[in-house]
Structure 1
């Protein structure tokens, strides 16, 4: 099965998406907890500043050596990647494709038929690409979820392309 999915149609740059490399992408979200989290969206710049400040403080206090806990954190992250169920937002990819100003909808092409949404709604889509550490071979290569979780149990499957109209 092909894991390449195009974004085509009324876009300045038709692009292809490869779900096989998203496991290494920092934008991925854990689907096992994503829909259950009730936390509000946080400012990315603020979070980055906090992380850098924490790292800087640790280097000042402990020096530039790695404390033993970092090794266990890396092992935990590796286990999480090998066993996790992940998705990635569609919006950054759609933004890079640059839909034409006249474009008003996005069509999710599947084996079973097309699903049409307003282009504004496309910002609320997640592309599921991994389940329990394995690529989505059955009904894959990706599944489409709404960020609000309304189709959590019944995602759009068998996706073959995204077409902007």
Structure 2
């Protein structure tokens, strides 16, 4: 369930999709291909609810188990949602050589070569309905523009930068 990035990089790295569920960079699959306006509204609504909760606690001196409720909500959400993570940070950490132009997605069912620019503008799906991608994973590649939203590149077990 690991995905190495190797080839024309300064630092070959190994990605472990099983820990990304705890990563703050993860994005819900449904929100990954939107323009971001819904995400901003959701953030504002969350902030407003938190502010109202704070005001109520301060004015009434009520101390409900807020942290436990939030944790339970997040846990339930994680166990039911599908998540993607942007690849750009990982690729930047590997420090790709200036002469590299393409990436070979290593797969059990045949490798796929894509331009390096497209790899930078991609997501890895690592969790579907709260579960790791065991049968056709460990990750699926989606382009950020959503052009392959219905037909992702699956069975990816590694990336070789060429």
Distance in structure 1 (CA, Å) of the matches to 2:5 and 2:104: 10
CA drift of 1:34 comes to: 2.4
Question: Which whole-Å deviations, capped at 9, do the CAs of 1:67-95 have from their partners, x for residues lacking one?
Answer: 55544332211111111111111111111
Residues 1:72 and 2:69 are matched in the alignment: yes
Residues 1:87 and 2:89 are matched in the alignment: no
Question: Which whole-Å deviations, capped at 9, do the CAs of 1:37-88 have from their partners, x for residues lacking one?
Answer: 3325x9xxxx9xxx7xx88xx59x839x965554433221111111111111
CA drift of 1:26 comes to: 0.5
Q: Name the Cα RMSD after superposition.
A: 2.7
Distance in structure 2 (CA, Å) of the matches to 1:144 and 1:120: 14
CA drift of 1:15 comes to: 0.5
Out of 126, 132, 157, the residue aligned to residue 154 of structure 2 is 157
The count of corresponding residues between Structure 1 and Structure 2 is: 150
Distance in structure 2 (CA, Å) of the matches to 1:78 and 1:4: 24
| 2:123 match | 126
- Give structure 1 regions of 4+ aligned residues with deviation exceeding 2 angstroms: 32-35, 37-40, 65-74
| 2:14 match | 16
Query: What is the TM-score with the length of structure 1 in the denominator?
Result: 0.79
Contact 2:84–2:126 (CA under 8 A) maintained in structure 1? yes
